[in-house]
Amino acid sequence: MLLSTLFSRPAAWAVLFSLTTLMACGSEDEKDEPAPLPGRWQLVTQHSINTDASTGQTLTEQHQPGTTGDYLNVSASTFEEYRGSQLNFTAPYTYAGSTISMQGTNPRTDLSREVRELTSRKLVLYYQLPAIVMNQKVTIEATYSR
């Protein structure tokens, strides 16, 4: 009874509408908009799965946190990956759709990555290691922040 009396007044509806609008505005501000790829990206976590290349059976699965020495430096034309503060590789790249296309030059290998998520604060890359070792295929999903 009290609620029906309270919400029969126009002022109560105005307050309810205002609160709803403010809550909606707050959640809109918290959304992270897409951002350009260039910048420094710190590795947060890496999830790798080793599978048997012939059967597809999962052999091992690992979740590893990044360290301060694990990061990417991405310019407008060059992709650099650092592991343990050491340059792992550098390559020119193109970025179209959801694919970062790169070729290593010595030896010539495909270093491409699929961009699964890119915002101003988060980058998620998915890729397969270029070499098959002991009949194993390794896929990686790496999450970065800045």
Q: Taking the model in full, what pTM does it have? A: 0.74
For the segment 52-102, what is each residue's pLDDT rounded down to a tens digit?
988 989 999 999 999 999 999 999 999 999 999 999 999 999 999 999 999
Cα–Cα separations (whole angstroms), residue 53 to 17, 49, 140: 58, 12, 15
Query: What residues contact 55, with CB distance under 8 A and at least 6 apart?
Result: none
CATH T-level topology, domain 39-145: Lipocalin (2.40.128)
Domain spans, the chain: 1-31, 39-145
Chain position carrying tokens 């012939």: 54
